[in-house]
């Protein structure tokens, strides 16, 4: 495996401006469930992670990854990339001859492409509803810049569809092949139960669940066994309206607070491994 070049500080582009907006967190559950529904990714998560016992860990590391790649320093970017690479390296499995479950590897660029795709699609779905600056021009530029999230996962640059129209075809094709097993439904339930999460996160999870149900593509929602009830629709509408208002009224310091907290977490990750890299005396 060729060593990756050191990341460089990024310019203030559309991704750097949009990613810190906390209103986009409304799409986090949607992105995770779309990843879980991919047969290979779902199996990898089920067999090689602590998702069942600590489901919010994937969310936190995903947020750290997005924030570092969009707005972090070169050191923060390297920290999170090294962490993801180390976590992905042992994640692989052969085809299950009994169930027919496909082989997988976390280093497979096709799977990395889908992860990046779920992040972009969820951001644009939510962003178009809640962010004042989200328009067709911003979306087009953002689309090209979201390839950065896949590139840092060692996905070849040319894997990212060249235009948003081609991306839409790709996304529709993969969505049609998603498969939600009973095991994956259980993992989704664990995510929204948040048994190990702080109380203030657990309080918000029922609302997050309803927003996720409402925002999922209908075929995927049906595979998970969710129903778009009137209650779910009302809660989703309430949360979208609240996020719409907050993105226009709240000062940037508050809207960007989750990003600041997650980048501090990335700094703590770097500090925890730094002593290991020091030469012994």
Per-residue pLDDT tens digits of the chain, which is 281 residues long: 444 545 444 445 889 999 999 999 999 999 999 999 999 999 998 888 777 667 778 888 899 999 999 999 999 999 999 998 888 888 887 877 677 677 888 889 999 999 999 999 999 999 999 998 777 667 788 899 999 888 887 788 899 999 999 999 999 999 999 999 999 999 999 889 887 777 777 888 999 999 999 999 999 999 999 999 999 999 999 999 999 999 999 999 999 999 999 999 999 988 886 544 444 43
| 252 located within any domain | yes
Cα dihedral 40→41→44→46 (10° resolution): -110
CA–CA separation, 222 and 42 (whole Å)? 17
Cβ(58)–Cβ(161) below 8 Å: no
| 40 located within any domain | yes
Q: pTM for this structure?
A: 0.88
Give residue 160's region: left, alpha or beta (phi > 0; psi -120 to 50): beta
| 229 located within any domain | yes
| 165 located within any domain | yes
Provide the pLDDT for residue 196: 76
Provide the pLDDT for residue 136: 65
Identify the three-state secondary structure at position 104. Answer: strand
| 92 located within any domain | yes
| 49 located within any domain | yes
| 162 located within any domain | yes
CA 3 to chain centre: 25
Q: What's the domain count of the chain?
A: 1
| 151 located within any domain | yes
Cβ(67)–Cβ(257) below 8 Å: no
Provide the pLDDT for residue 49: 78
Range of the domain at 141: 14-269
CA–CA separation, 40 and 139 (whole Å)? 29
DSSP string, 181-235: -HHHHHHHHHHHH-TTS-HHHHTTHHHHHHHHHHHS-HHHHHHHT----HHHHHH
């Amino acid at each position: 495996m060729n060593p990756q070049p050191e990341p460089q500080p990024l310019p203030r582009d559309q991704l750097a401006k949009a990613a810190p907006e906390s209103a986009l967190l409304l799409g986090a559950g949607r992105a995770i469930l779309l990843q879980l529904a991919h047969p290979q990714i779902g199996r990898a998560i089920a067999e090689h992670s602590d998702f069942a016992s600590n489901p919010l860990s994937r969310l936190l590391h995903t947020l750290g990854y997005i924030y570092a790649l969009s707005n972090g320093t070169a050191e923060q970017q390297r920290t999170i990339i090294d962490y993801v690479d180390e976590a992905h390296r042992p994640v692989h499995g052969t085809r299950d001859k009994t169930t027919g479950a496909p082989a997988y590897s976390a280093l497979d660029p096709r799977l990395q492409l889908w992860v990046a795709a779920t992040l972009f699609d969820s951001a644009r779905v939510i962003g178009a509803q809640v962010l004042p600056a989200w328009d067709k021009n911003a979306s087009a530029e953002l689309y090209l810049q979201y390839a950065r999230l896949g590139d840092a996962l060692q996905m070849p640059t040319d894997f990212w569809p060249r235009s948003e129209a081609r991306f839409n075809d790709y996304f529709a094709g993969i969505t049609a092949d998603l498969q939600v097993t009973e095991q994956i439904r259980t993992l989704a339930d664990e995510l929204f139960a948040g048994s190990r999460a702080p109380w203030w996160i657990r309080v918000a999870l029922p609302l997050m669940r309803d927003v996720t149900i409402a925002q999922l593509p209908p075929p995927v929602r049906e595979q998970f066994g969710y129903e778009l009830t009137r209650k779910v629709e009302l809660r989703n509408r309430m949360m979208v309206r609240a996020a719409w208002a907050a993105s226009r009224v709240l000062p940037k310091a508050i809207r960007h607070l989750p990003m600041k907290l997650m980048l501090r977490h990335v700094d703590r990750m770097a500090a925890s491994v730094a002593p290991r890299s020091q030469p012994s005396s």
